[in-house]
């Protein structure tokens, strides 16, 4: 009945309700892949619209009652809602950007829209409150609810086990990536789609759940100030949304990618992509980032071929797999190995995995999901004397005796990010300065997820748990507090890194 190019592995039907062919429209509930390009979910919804000859309605909603909701995260997401509403309207799609004016006010909106829909399509994002929200929707939506995974180059369910090291995951993806790169999302699923025009939303729905005001969408601070969210975490200077994401990607590939390998670790080099907030909110697809790099590097997909049929043999090595420059390969190591490793942990973690086949039987956000060796060494050193302890309040404002750490916290406060190398050091010092490793975990989550635009993501959990030993091995010598957990110090960072301008900018 429907001809859709979305790979089966990326598609899940979440309830047993039928498709209602005489519904008024197809509903795409955009909750994670907040973009119109390279989006398998939107592609699926467009395919349903064409197959059923019904208009497409896109609900992009933003709740305000979730933990850490603030001006910063809201502004960034709403910038994207404005971009998306414009692009959808230009393609004849009815966009309903809805921002909750009060916690819980949006309750009932999805149900009301779904009641008149033929089918509902939504995104499959395996982290934060989204899986619970979709599971609850699946129990209420009166028509078929499909969930589509547009998270990465690999479908999040491509693997059948949780990987505990980056190397084992790399060996896996190198074996199968050729097959998955052959099933790319459409660059612009709305282009030439010729969808039936949508009527305005029923008045009762539009009155009770009105679309976000033009003032809010276009960035009026007063409109944001009226929302019941944390106003102490201010918006950052950079704009959110697919438009800004595309510009940042183009600048990165043209100007910084050639320096990525040499410069990534050095805060003064400014060589990293800065794409993580856009990837986190779905304003940018990993597929689009990959395509931009591949184009610049003259990459040919035939190099990979189908499993076993390509030119390259998967070796598990970090370099040489793509046949691109060393800088491009280093960037893809982050974008593919490290980023998708985090999604693997969430997609196949205990909550949804099927037990016996998994090597990891706990929720990846539980302290106990750390590897046994890490749990043992942290427990052994839990009672070691801590020369310095800082309360959360002192850490939050960057008021420690460590100038580099304070600078990285100030960067987080002002920009909503921390330079990658310093982010590792930032976490290691929190472990050193906390009463227990569990307390360190809580502090890292609280600071990261409150202030970082890319927080509340599978990579937040990967990075924070990496500080405590996940995806790592034991390192000697055994030390106080850390045991055999990898140690990092500000003194060594000061020696190794180009930091002068960074400190001038952020150190008080």
Q: Compute the distance between CA of residue 483 and CA of residue 492 in angstroms, rounded to an integer.
A: 19
Q: Is 427 in the site for ligand FAD (CB under 6 A)?
A: yes
Toward ligand FAD, which CB reaches closer, 220 or 501?
501
- Reference 347, options 52, 180, 149; nearest CA is 149
**Which one among 33, 434, 460, 490 touches ligand FAD, defined by CB under 6 A?**
460
3-state secondary structure of 449: helix
- Reference 339, options 420, 408, 417, 241; nearest CA is 420
Least distance (Å) between residue 342 CB and ligand FAD: 6
Least distance (Å) between residue 384 CB and ligand FAD: 21
Least distance (Å) between residue 42 CB and ligand FAD: 21
DSSP per-residue codes, 117-160: EEEEEEE---STTHHHHHHHHHHH-SSEEEEE--SSSS-TTS-S
In this structure, the strands spanning 144-148 and 11-13 are antiparallel
Taking CB atoms, the residue at the shortest distance from ligand FAD is: 463
Q: Is 273 in the site for ligand FAD (CB under 6 A)?
A: yes
**Which one among 423, 429, 450, 470 touches ligand FAD, defined by CB under 6 A?**
423
Q: Is 454 in the site for ligand FAD (CB under 6 A)?
A: yes
Q: Is 409 in the site for ligand FAD (CB under 6 A)?
A: no
Toward ligand FAD, which CB reaches closer, 4 or 369?
369
**Which one among 463, 469, 482, 490 touches ligand FAD, defined by CB under 6 A?**
463
Q: Is 424 in the site for ligand FAD (CB under 6 A)?
A: yes
**Which one among 106, 342, 349, 371 touches ligand FAD, defined by CB under 6 A?**
342
Q: How many residues bind ligand FAD (CB under 6 A)?
A: 30
Q: Compute the distance between CA of residue 398 and CA of residue 220 in angstroms, rounded to an integer.
A: 30
Q: Given the structure tokens 């709740």, which residue do they identify?
A: 63
Least distance (Å) between residue 104 CB and ligand FAD: 27
Q: Compute the distance between CA of residue 283 and CA of residue 287 in angstroms, rounded to an integer.
A: 12
Q: Compute the distance between CA of residue 439 and CA of residue 320 in angstroms, rounded to an integer.
A: 41
In our burial notation (b when 16+ CB lie closer than 10 A, e otherwise), range 254-287 reads eebbbebbebbbbbbbebbbbbbbbbbbbbbbbb
Structure tokens at 94: 């009815």
x-or-dash string of contact with ligand FAD, 227-266, rule CB under 6 A: -------------------------------------x--
DSSP state of 483: B
Give contact residues for ligand FAD (rule: CB under 6 A): 264, 272-276, 279-280, 334-335, 338-339, 342, 420, 423-424, 427, 444, 448, 452, 454-455, 457, 459-460, 462-464, 466-467
């Amino acid at each position: 009945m429907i001809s859709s190019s979305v790979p089966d592995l990326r598609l899940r039907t979440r309830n047993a309700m039928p498709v209602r062919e005489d519904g008024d429209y197809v509903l795409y509930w955009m909750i994670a892949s907040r973009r119109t390009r390279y989006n398998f979910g939107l592609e699926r919804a467009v395919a349903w619209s064409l197959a059923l000859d019904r208009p497409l309605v896109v609900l992009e909603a933003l709740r305000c009652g979730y933990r850490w909701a603030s001006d910063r995260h809201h502004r960034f997401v709403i910038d994207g809602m404005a971009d998306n509403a414009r692009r959808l309207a230009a393609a004849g799609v009815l966009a309903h950007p809805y921002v909750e004016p009060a916690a819980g006010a949006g309750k009932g909106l999805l149900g009301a829209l779904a009641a008149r829909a033929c089918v509902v399509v939504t995104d499959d994002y395996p982290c934060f409150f989204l899986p619970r929200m979709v599971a609850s929707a699946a129990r209420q939506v009166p028509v078929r609810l499909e969930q589509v995974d547009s998270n990465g180059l690999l479908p999040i369910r491509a693997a059948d086990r949780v990987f505990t090291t980056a190397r084992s995951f790399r060996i896996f993806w190198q074996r199968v990536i050729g097959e998955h790169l052959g099933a790319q999302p459409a660059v612009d699923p709305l282009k030439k789609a010729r969808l039936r025009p949508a009527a305005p939303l029923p008045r009762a729905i539009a009155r009770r759940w009105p679309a976000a005001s033009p003032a809010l969408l276009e960035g009026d601070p007063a409109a944001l100030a009226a929302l019941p969210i944390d106003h102490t975490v201010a918006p950052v200077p950079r704009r959110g949304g697919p438009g800004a994401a595309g510009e940042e990607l183009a600048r990165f590939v043209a100007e910084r990618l050639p320096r990525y390998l040499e410069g990534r670790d050095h805060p003064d080099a400014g060589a990293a992509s800065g794409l993580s907030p856009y990837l986190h909110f779905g304003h940018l697809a990993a597929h689009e980032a990959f395509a931009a790099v591949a184009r610049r590097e003259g990459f040919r997909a035939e190099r990979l071929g189908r499993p076993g049929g390509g030119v390259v043999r998967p070796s598990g090595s970090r370099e040489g797999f793509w046949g691109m420059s060393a800088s491009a390969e280093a960037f893809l190591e982050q974008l593919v190995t490290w980023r998708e490793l985090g999604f693997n942990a969430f997609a196949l973690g205990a909550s949804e995995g099927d037990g016996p086949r998994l090597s990891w039987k706990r929720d990846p956000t539980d302290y106990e999901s750390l590897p046994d060796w890490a749990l043992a060494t942290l427990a052994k050193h839990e009672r070691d004397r801590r020369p310095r302890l800082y309360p959360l309040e002192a850490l939050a404002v960057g008021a420690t005796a460590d100038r580099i750490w304070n600078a990285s916290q100030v960067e987080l406060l002002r920009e909503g990010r921390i330079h990658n190398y310093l982010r590792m050091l930032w976490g290691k010092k929190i472990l050193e300065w906390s009463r227990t490793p569990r307390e360190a975990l809580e502090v890292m989550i609280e600071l990261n997820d409150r202030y970082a635009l890319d927080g509340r993501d599978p990579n937040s959990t990967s990075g924070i748990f990496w500080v405590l030993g996940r995806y790592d091995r034991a390192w000697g010598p055994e030390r106080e507090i850390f045991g055999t957990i990898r140690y990092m110090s500000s003194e060594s960072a000061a020696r190794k890194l180009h930091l002068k301008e960074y400190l001038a900018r952020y150190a008080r």
